């Protein structure tokens, strides 16, 4: 396994990360098999794991928390995501920030995720949807800064909307975003146009999701 620095964070993560979406909330998913698969990835050198509360209403966070507890001697990095309060994917320009990520909602889910992961500080906490029209909302900056001030998160990130890699550029420019997650594979390389150059300029970490096009590759 090869490792690299995740943008401007201090994390040296494995080139290949493990996404937990398929482990919870799907027909046929089995926690025992999921734990075996996660442990096999750890044994193979994987150190970066991406989950979300929406994956089985916290179940995948709990599975990752179990694996991290079993491997306390290894530095594993956990990334999770807070669901939008309206449970709507993707975000729409008509959605109001205060109705999607109000502070009490963000802090509540950050607390829940910490408990599921069994950690005091979440390595990377992401908003699971985003619209750049929300960037100037004062609660956005206040909330991210407060999460870090409390020591609940190390780094903050955005999971940008499907096929909208440019809908996150303004947020990145604020300096609040440490990592961005975006679809990138041989079929969809739109992030190369504007998102990747900006991330390179500002040293923002990039998580390439759906690298195998959801299994078609």
Cα of 136 vs its chain's centroid, Å? 22
Distance CA 196, CA 216 (A): 24
CATH number at 80 reads 3.20.20.100
Sequence-separated (6 or more) residues with CB below 8 Å from residue 159: 52, 81, 126, 127, 128, 129, 130, 180, 181, 182, 209
Distance CA 53, CA 153 (A): 15
| Total number of domains in the chain | 1
User: What local confidence, expressed as pLDDT, does residue 38 receive?
Assistant: 98
Distance CA 158, CA 124 (A): 10
User: What local confidence, expressed as pLDDT, does residue 59 receive?
Assistant: 97
Closest CA to 158 of 204, 103, 197: 204
Are 79 and 47 in contact by the 8 Å Cβ rule? The answer is: no
Are 39 and 7 in contact by the 8 Å Cβ rule? The answer is: no
Beta bridge partners of 206: 180
Residue range(s) defining the domain that contains residue 109: 3-215
The enclosing H or E element of 142 equals helix 138-149
Q: Flag residues of the chain having pLDDT under 50.
A: none
User: What local confidence, expressed as pLDDT, does residue 216 receive?
Assistant: 66
User: What local confidence, expressed as pLDDT, does residue 110 receive?
Assistant: 99
User: What local confidence, expressed as pLDDT, does residue 53 receive?
Assistant: 98
Distance CA 21, CA 19 (A): 6
Please give the model's pTM, rounded to 2 decimal places: 0.96
């Amino acid at each position: 396994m090869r490792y690299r620095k995740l943008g401007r964070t201090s994390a040296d993560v494995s080139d290949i990360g493990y996404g937990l979406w398929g482990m919870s909330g799907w027909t046929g998913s089995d926690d025992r098999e999921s734990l075996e698969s996660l442990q096999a990835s750890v044994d193979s050198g994987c150190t970066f794991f991406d989950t979300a509360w929406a994956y089985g209403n916290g179940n995948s966070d709990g599975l990752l928390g179990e694996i991290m507890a079993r491997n306390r001697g290894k530095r594993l990095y956990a990334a999770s995501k807070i669901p939008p309060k309206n449970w709507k994917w993707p975000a729409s320009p008509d959605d109001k920030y205060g109705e999607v990520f109000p502070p009490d909602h963000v802090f509540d889910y950050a607390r829940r995720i910490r408990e599921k992961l069994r950690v005091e500080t979440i390595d990377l906490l992401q908003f699971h949807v985003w619209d750049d029209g929300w960037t100037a909302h004062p609660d956005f900056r206040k909330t991210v800064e407060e999460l870090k001030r409390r020591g609940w998160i190390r780094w903050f990130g955005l999971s940008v909307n499907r096929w909208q890699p440019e809908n996150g550029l303004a947020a990145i420019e604020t300096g609040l975003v440490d990592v961005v997650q975006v679809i990138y594979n041989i079929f969809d390389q739109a992030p190369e146009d504007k998102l990747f150059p900006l991330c390179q300029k500002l040293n923002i970490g990039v998580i390439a999701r759906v690298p195998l096009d959801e299994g078609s590759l």
